[in-house]
Structure 1
C-alpha cells in the first residue's frame, strides 16, 4: 500500500492527504455511483423515477375495477406452466427498460409480479419490481429496500419485446422461437464495432507499417 510520503515528497504529507480528502468531499466525488465495466445498468436517478411511477400506478389501482372472466378454448401449448419456463424460455433477449413478469413459482420473487429491467449481466438481469417483497434487495444500493433482485434470463417473460407468442387457434402453424443464445455485450468497448479490416473511430490504432531496407539491398541499388 502506498504511503502519503510516497505521493507527496515535500512538506507535510499527512496534512496534504487531509486537504485532498476535504476537497473531494466538498466536490461530492465520494457520492459517485460505482459502475462496472462489464455490465449495462441504469442510473440511480432513473431507477428512482421508475419506482415512483410504479408506486403511482399501484396506488391508482382499485380492486373494484377487476373483472372476472372465464377463458375457454385455449390450447395446451399456449399455456406456460411455471416449472416449464426454464425449458421453454430459452434464448430470450432483453434490453434495459424492458417490462417483464415473473413466470417461475420457485425462488424469492412472487409469481406474476411485474418489473423493469435495470441491469444486464452475462447470465442474468437486474430487475426493480413494482411491489416490495420479503426477499427483495437493493442491488448494491441502486433501488429501494425489498424492491430489486437479480434473476436468470429464463425466469421472466419479456412483455416489451414478446418472443414467445402462441396462437389460441389449435390449427394455427407453430410460431418461430429464438434459437440464438442471448449474449449481452460485456466489456468496455463500443456496441457497434468496426467491420473486419476497418479501423475504429476511437481506441487503440496500430502504428503504420514501415519498410525496412537492409544494407545489402542498399548496396545493390547503388551498383
Structure 2
C-alpha cells in the first residue's frame, strides 16, 4: 500500500459502511501499516484507522511497540496535531481504547515539549485542551501522568493559550485533591457518556 492520499480516500469510503467484510478490510489496512515505520507520510492514515476505535485494528498497528512513543518519528506539524485533537474530541472518557488514547497523548506531550515555539505552529483552542484534559476523568496513572505533563508543557510554551492560565490551576487543584471529583470541573456535554464510577479513583482505567 502506498502512502498517498488515494489510500486515505479509499479508507474514508470504507468507513462509511458497517459490515464484517469492511471490518476485515480495515484489519488488512492495519496489517499493511504495521509493517511500516509510522512517519509524517502515513500518520494521517494511521489516525483514521485508530479513529474507528476498533481494538483489533489498533492492536495490529501497535504490535509490540510502546503506545506512548508510537508517533515518535512524526514531526509535530499542524495538520497532524489537529487530527489528534479531533480524534480525542470524538469520544467520551472511557470510550476510546486505552492504547490509542496513550498514543495520542504521548504524541501531544512530546510535540509540546520538543519545540518551545510549537504553539506558533499550532495553537490549541480551549476546546482542544478541554477535550484532552477530560480524559483525566477515567484513565489509569500512566495516561493521566502524560496528560498532566502535556498540560504543563503547554503552559511552558510561548505564546501560551490564554485560556490555559484560567482553568489549568483549577484542573491541577482538583486532580491532586483526593477529596474532589475531577469530573466536577468539566461541562457535562464533554463527559456525559463517561464511566464516572472511577472518576475520583486514580490508578484505574475503563479502556485498558
TM-score normalised by length of structure 2: 0.23
The structure richer in strand per residue is 1
Which structure has the larger Rg over C-alpha atoms? 1
Q: TM-score, normalised by structure 1?
A: 0.22
